Structure 1
Amino acid sequence: MTPGARLQAAIVVLDAWVAGMPVEQALTNWARSARYAGSGDRAAVRDHVYDIMRARGTCAALGGGETGRALAIGLLRMQGGDPAALFTGQGHAPDALSEAELAGGTEPAGTADVPGWTLPLLEARVGGELAPLLGAFRSRAPVYLRVNLRRIDLPGSVAALARDGVAAEPVAGAATALVVTSGARRIKSCTAYQDGLVELQDLSVQRAVRGIDWPEGRILDYCAGGGGKALAIADACGSQVFAHDANPGRMADLPPRAERAGVVIRTLDRAALARMGRFDAVLCDVPCSGSGTWRRDPEAKWRLTPERLAELERVQAAILAEAAPLVRPGGSLVYMTCSLFHAENEAQIARFCAQATGWQVAQTGCDTPLSASDGFFHAVLRAPEA
């Protein structure tokens, strides 16, 4: 596909997204109808779409509208290009620009690329660094890997990745982290990944997991999902690690992943969990707004509403209430979100401690895209002694 044809394909996907279709479904529908498109073409179309979603407000202003075509015009202007060079109408490229489109759009507001109602919530987190944070949200997030230190050291993992065309470098101050500098799309097919030597995991998550003093004994990942944090905990300490999720199907890949990593993680359904008694530590990585990950998942910010945020806060409180009785006296309840909003983080913890007698906050921390990669909050709560 020519660059113009790739841009036209992105316009088709964006029009479906603007009309309400989830972006991944729109991309899949286009790919199925374009069997001629190679992997490079599909990657390029995806990049166009996600670059626009990250900077939708800016693209709309520069392109003069909210249609896929206008957003694509705005993207090219934002990137310093000339839209007329690709909007030629030739070789499946978008039709040539009209006089109105040639005249250009308007200067975008610096705050246009997140929903306006979230601006005070973000500013409450970063204060005077709101503008740099919004700038970070417009860029692609780096790709980080967690090295499984039970299997290989950092220099060995860098060499193993390089053999399959993935270049990566250690991250200063992070014992397990590599940042990928090229070849990111090859990661899942490379031997180091398939053999469990490395896992995809953001730097902020790795910093949080490694920054917690996990107790010896039994640790439960209560909202395990795919099990990335359970794997990181198992690699970091010698405790028994268990995983549970309200939807056990989400954990389907965890046993083989654990086997490849050389660790043991026992998955528990609701009935098995009820027979286990209490744990030395329980991790709750709860559903959240994902506001810390908006450059990685830009669609999420456009789906979020105040009503949805309030619903998430209720779910988070309910999970904390469910998980607390699973912690032994004097044990730890670890709360994590990928949110930057105080309402989902500090306020949620304060509300829990006000209602649950004797619980104490032992540790809190919050990274933002300005200090690590994604925004990520964690808190360690100590249960009252018996």
Structure 2
Amino acid sequence: MTPAARIAAAITVLDQILSGSPAEQALLRWSRASRFAGSGDRMALRDLVFGALRRRDSLAALGGSLTGRGLMIGHARQAELDLPAIFTGARHDPAPLTEAEAALTPPETLPDDLPDWLRPAWTAALGPQAAEVARAMTDRAPLWLRVNPARTTPDAAVAALAAEGIDTVPAPDFPQALRMTSNERALARSAAYRDGLVELQDLSPQQACALLPLAPGLRVLDYCAGGGGKALALGGRQPGMTITAHDALPDRMADLPARAERAGLRIALEARPRGPFDLVVTDVPCSGSGTWRRTPDAKWRLDAAQLDELLALQAHILDRAAPLVGPGGHLAYMTCSLLTAENEDQIRAFHARQSGFVAVMQRLWTPLQGGDGFFLALLRRD
């Protein structure tokens, strides 16, 4: 496909997303209907679509309309592409620019690419950094790897990946996290990944897991395990612990046994975990506002009613997990959100409902620190 044909395809997919279709479904639908497209075309299309969703409102202002066509005109203007050479109307190219589109004067100040209803909460949560974090959310997120200390060392992992043409850079002051700088799509077929030397995991949850208190012999529960990334990270850090994984939707853990075997770990899957545990980790469902670089359509799909439902679910999970913590044990509350309502406010409300827990620490990471937005609160049971 030519660059212009890819932009035409992006217009089609974006129109479906703007009409309510989830981004992944719209991309999959296009891929199935476009057997002629190669893997490079599909990857390029994905980059166009996700890039447009990250900058939806600002590109719409540059392109003159909140449509797939408007977003792609805005993209072309922002990237300083030759619009007449792209919008030709020939073969698979988009239709030529109208007089109004060609004559559009972009506004001096572009929107901040945040939902209007959420902006006050965003500003309240992030204060002086709010605008800078919003700008960071319009960039593509880096891909991070977690070195598995049960299998290798950071230096050896860097060398093994480099031998397969995958370049990485260790995070400053946190060398067990490697940022991929080239050949990212080769990771899944690499020996380093297949042999459990590294796992995909963002920087901030790695840093959060590194702050949790671990020791040989502890009983650890990953209460909202999903794919099991936290369980694997904790198990790799400290051998000799008993690690249990639980999820309200067990199918989410389907790949965890194979991942654990690859990592050289044993993790028990439990539908009804029974305490007491020395550490219970609750990485709860949330708005995902800290990960909107990776799932930009989620930013525009979230509404106030959905956020309220998430807040109720988070409180419910905390109340269900708390009794599983043994005396002297710890409860870790995690979200990939930047919003105070899902973070600090949840912990304040938990303390008001539950006695016997004391605050140990709280920490918020933002994309300005290299990874996704992420929140950790660590509590200890008396």
TM-score, normalised relative to structure 1? 0.96
Give the C-alpha shift of residue 110 in structure 1.
4.4
In structure 1, list runs of 5 or more residues that go unmatched. none
Amino acid paired to 1:152? T
CA distance in 1, matches of 2:381, 2:82: 60
CA distance in 2, matches of 1:15, 1:127: 34
Equivalent residue for 1:320?
318
Equivalent residue for 1:278?
276
CA distance in 2, matches of 1:104, 1:197: 52
Equivalent residue for 1:232?
233
CA contact (8 A) 2:61 2:110 kept: no
Equivalent residue for 1:223?
224
Equivalent residue for 2:67?
67
Amino acid paired to 2:309? E
Amino acid paired to 1:332? H
Equivalent residue for 1:151?
151
Give the C-alpha shift of residue 91 in structure 1.
3.6
> Partner of 1:182: helix, strand, or coil?
coil
Match runs of 1:298-337 below 5 Å: 298-337=296-335
Stretch of structure 1 that moved more, 27-36 or 210-219: 210-219
CA distance in 1, matches of 2:344, 2:67: 39
Amino acid paired to 2:70? A
CA distance in 2, matches of 1:251, 1:177: 23
CA distance in 1, matches of 2:214, 2:111: 40
**1:268–1:109: structure 2 CA closer, same or farther, 3 Å change rule?**
farther
Equivalent residue for 2:10?
10
Give the C-alpha shift of residue 245 in structure 1.
0.4
CA distance in 1, matches of 2:314, 2:199: 27
TM-score, normalised relative to structure 2? 0.97
Give the C-alpha shift of residue 135 in structure 1.
1.1
Equivalent residue for 1:267?
269
CA distance in 2, matches of 1:191, 1:108: 50
Stretch of structure 1 that moved more, 119-128 or 241-250: 119-128
- Identity percentage of aligned residues: 51
CA contact (8 A) 1:4 1:91 kept: no
Stretch of structure 1 that moved more, 127-136 or 58-67: 127-136
**1:277–1:110: structure 2 CA closer, same or farther, 3 Å change rule?**
same
**1:215–1:312: structure 2 CA closer, same or farther, 3 Å change rule?**
farther
> Partner of 2:57: helix, strand, or coil?
helix
Give the C-alpha shift of residue 108 in structure 1.
6.7
In structure 2, list runs of 5 or more residues that go unmatched. none
CA distance in 2, matches of 1:108, 1:328: 58
Query: Is 2:25 aligned against 1:40?
Result: no
Runs in 1 of length 4+ with deviation above 3 angstroms? 108-112
CA distance in 1, matches of 2:285, 2:49: 25
Query: Is 2:295 aligned against 1:297?
Result: yes
Give the C-alpha shift of residue 263 in structure 1.
1.1
- Give the paired residue count: 380
Summarize deviations over 1:227-256 as a string: whole Å, max 9, x none: 011100001113211100011111110011
> Partner of 2:40: helix, strand, or coil?
helix
Give the C-alpha shift of residue 197 in structure 1.
1.0
